[in-house]
Amino acid sequence: MTFLPFTRPSIDEETIAAVGDVLRSGWITSGPKVKEFEAALSDYCGGRPVRAFSSGTATMQVALTLAGIGPGDEVITAPLTWVASASVVLAAGARPVFVDIDPVTRNIDLERIEAAVTARTRAIIPVDLAGLPVARDRLYAIAGDHKLRVIEDAAQAFGAQWRGRRIGATGDFVSFSFHANKNITTGEGGALVLPQDVDAGLCERLRLQGVTRFADGSMDADVLGGKFNLTDIAATIGLGQLKRLAAFTQRRRELAHRYFEHFDELAIAGLELPLRDFDNSNWHMYQVLLPSGSRRGQVIAAMKEHGIGIGVHYPALHLFSLYRQQGYRAGDFPQAERVGGQTITLPLFPAMQDSDVDRVCTALAAILKPSA
């Protein structure tokens, strides 16, 4: 029985050959391929300036610096996300302020944000969980009313849209991730879409140790930067992936449709399916909530016995030790805790066959309905 992972990147032979060409060229760190990739990403984002980075975490870290966020400031975000969404706030010396999620979208509950705004609030980091965008019109209305910067954690939303407009084509800062499990990958990497009021040159200096090089060979460093540059090897993979984005997204939607069809037929009591949004989501992940009382660890182990890999994305962030040290406790965000405690991520990636979905659904039903 072939093991089915919950995700797997699809790298074609043309891209593999192109990476070989880069390796043979001798220019393997940041160079012409990075510039080409940034230009392609800018075109995808409607001509907005885009800079490539070594990770989606680095993009948010630099965005916070560009937004002027620092000690004493507060940044609102969701507790149901990967740790990076809040850890970058701590790294900036600011305080992450969590707001509970909407149980339907599983994204930050926009109607709860204003109650969390204080005199110290400077920004919002909304998270597009599983590739389903936060409602951008309402988000930016709130941000505008309170004069807050927005750093969109769109790590999972590349290829998604909101009301017909691509994520990245509008808004304030937009952060993408191209990690190996994302809808397009560079192996490791990310990109930051910049608003018009931000100096792209400063962004570049923050990305690479604050250094500016001059034509006469001299250089200067005027800011404290990091080492966050993308390599030409990674950019070449990204260029190959970007060409296939539309096909990848279409296949993900087809697989998600098939999941819904099977689960509707199986009618597993207590199993909660994701929101059926085929207009906006890129279907980065297909996540279900296990029936109350199910032991997730046992379900994951049983699925593995069926040769099927399961992910967990994500436990409620405020329950981690680092955030308990910030004063957060169990019970603070009940919706995030419930979803975070019951969610499993089922296999979903473009190379999957329809029969793989059938296999996953049949196995999960057998585990959750043992008497059937």
- At a CB cut-off of 8 Å and minimum separation 6, what does 323 contact? 86, 96, 98, 317
> Hey, which residues does 179 pair with through a beta bridge?
187
User: According to the 3-state scheme, what is the secondary structure of 249-304?
Assistant: HHHHHHHHHHHHHHHHHHCCCCCECCCCCCCCCCCCCEEEECCCCCCHHHHHHHHH
State the number of CA atoms in the 13 A half-sphere of 102 facing the CB. 19
| H or E segment to which residue 43 belongs | helix 32-44
- Comparing CA positions, the residue from 54, 65, 120 lying closest to residue 89 is 65
User: How far, in Å, CA of 309 to CA of 342, rounded?
Assistant: 16
User: How far, in Å, CA of 130 to CA of 345, rounded?
Assistant: 9
User: How far, in Å, CA of 98 to CA of 32, rounded?
Assistant: 40
What does residue 212 show for φ and ψ, rounded to 5 degrees?
Answer: -115, 130
- What angle, 0 to 180 degrees and rounded to 10, lies between the N-to-C axes of helices 232-242 and 245-266? 60
- The H helix count followed by the E strand count for the chain is 13, 13
DSSP-derived letter for residue 163 is T
To the query of whether residue 182 is one of the catalytic residues in this protein, the response is yes
CB 127 within 8 A of CB 85: yes
User: How far, in Å, CA of 157 to CA of 155, rounded?
Assistant: 6
CB 353 within 8 A of CB 14: no
Q: Which of the residues 182, 227, 243, 304 is marked catalytic? A: 182
- Comparing CA positions, the residue from 97, 161, 160, 91 lying closest to residue 126 is 97
| Residues written for the chain | 372
> How far, rounded to the nearest angstrom, does the alpha carbon of residue 114 sit from its chain's CA centroid?
24
User: How far, in Å, CA of 78 to CA of 315, rounded?
Assistant: 12
Positions marked catalytic = 182
